[in-house]
Amino acid sequence: MRRTPKSPTRKFSTDSQRLATLAQSLVQAASRIEQRNWENRLDSALEKLLSGNQQQLIDSALDHLFHTDLAAYDGLLDAVEANSASCALTHEGRQHDALLMAIPILAWTRFSIPAGPIPVELLQTITAHLHGHVLAADTQVAVAPMLFAIDQLPRSYCDTYLLTHRMAKAALSGMALQMPTDLPETAPFLADTRFVLLAVTAPAGMPLLRWQEEVSGTNLLASTQAVLAQWQVQAGPNLQRLFAGCGTELLLPEAYYVACRDADKKIRPVSVRAAVHYLTHALTIEAAQIAAVVAGFGDESNDMGIDEYRISFTVADNTDVFYGVVWPLYDEESGEEDMQTMPLRRAATAAPVSPLQQIVSLLRETGITRITKPEILFTPEFCDDCGAPLFCDHAEELVHAEMPEDTPQSGAHLH
């Protein structure tokens, strides 16, 4: 899963070079037997670094491969994620596999999206529904007694590694899991994601998840969709109790990194809808009176193209940017498209394919018809005082998004 490393350049050590070389050997393997050999050697090297809290050495190898060999970068990143969010443990003389998972919950409100401790009785209910609808038979699970915001999740692969092992041991032992009390404060947004974390264990080689128990030939997509439907119906009302005054959408519990990425993508349209809803109510206007500027942002000097779109919202006969939403691009999503070549109206059966098409289609669905896109690529800039992203106005200048002074404030920041 390709992501641009954000860390500064580090010294390329012998251990980092070994990781890079093993990753290159893995992706160049000509047979499954050879591939498994390189994979085992890479896993052993990563286990040593993760358990030793050598995050900088891992980051250095990723930085190097990102700029020299993207295939090997993807291979190393997959291996780092696998080794930090899963493990093998021995309990009472028997080998067990363990996987760190996350339950993403999309939430939106004009007020405050909660985070913090989960009541014991609700934790027990969540655990029961996991066993009933998501997890395979003969599994044990430990659910963290905390509703996490994204900035409260582990900050590094080494932190994730430690959490995975701690939660896996709690699942096998049946011991209560204690979470730190000094987690960062959460930033208020109109729309945001919350996570419930869990570790599931099973005897080595046995299924961890319900859809792994399906007979050979069963459609995996249909199986997971059936699990999701049951999960939303049965567990949704219970989790909704944590979100007073909020709208929510419960996503499928998945492996930790997959769940986080899925939530990152799916919160984007929710953020746009929440912004339009907020503006129409706060300013007492119709959506048709709102105009949007969809500007591409990225590092053109490094030939990286568009990394994100920033959507600026203005009101008729006023060029001030009142609000803005950031729409980051993930994986292989491309921002290379000229909006001038896009049809103004798409066929009802034609699904949006590019990020820009998705954004424009979404804005039109909310009632916004005046949409423009500057042709230039902007360098991402942020406010020196508060750190908020700057947005493009109709004059193609980057400005701070600010609501009128007499507007009732929601307390939410730009997403």
Percent over 70 (pLDDT), the chain: 87
The model's pTM is: 0.87
pLDDT digits (tens, 9 = 90+) for 266-286: 999 999 999 999 999 999 999
Weakest mean pLDDT among 146-155, 326-335, 370-379: 326-335
Q: Mean pLDDT across the chain, nearest whole number?
A: 88
Weakest mean pLDDT among 10-19, 119-128, 280-289, 368-377: 10-19
Percent over 90 (pLDDT), the chain: 73
pLDDT digits (tens, 9 = 90+) for 148-182: 999 999 999 999 999 999 999 999 998 888 877 77
Residue 347 has pLDDT above 50, yes or no: no
Mean pLDDT of 244-262: 95
Residue 408's pLDDT band (boundaries 50, 70, 90)?
A: low
pLDDT digits (tens, 9 = 90+) for 212-243: 887 655 667 668 888 999 999 999 999 999 99
- Sheet containing 318-328: give its strands across: 318-328, 308-315, 290-297, 370-372
Instruction: Quote the pLDDT of residue 353.
Output: 78
Residue 413 has pLDDT above 60, yes or no: no
Highest mean pLDDT: which range of 186-190, 223-227, 330-334, 388-392? 388-392
Instruction: Quote the pLDDT of residue 1.
Output: 37
Mean pLDDT of 326-354: 63
Instruction: Quote the pLDDT of residue 352.
Output: 57
Residue 350 has pLDDT above 50, yes or no: yes
Angle between helix axes 220-240 and 120-133 (nearest 10 degrees) is 160
Mean pLDDT of 287-306: 84
Residue 346's pLDDT band (boundaries 50, 70, 90)?
A: very low
Residue 95's pLDDT band (boundaries 50, 70, 90)?
A: very high
pLDDT digits (tens, 9 = 90+) for 311-332: 999 998 888 999 999 999 987 7
pLDDT digits (tens, 9 = 90+) for 113-130: 999 999 999 999 999 999
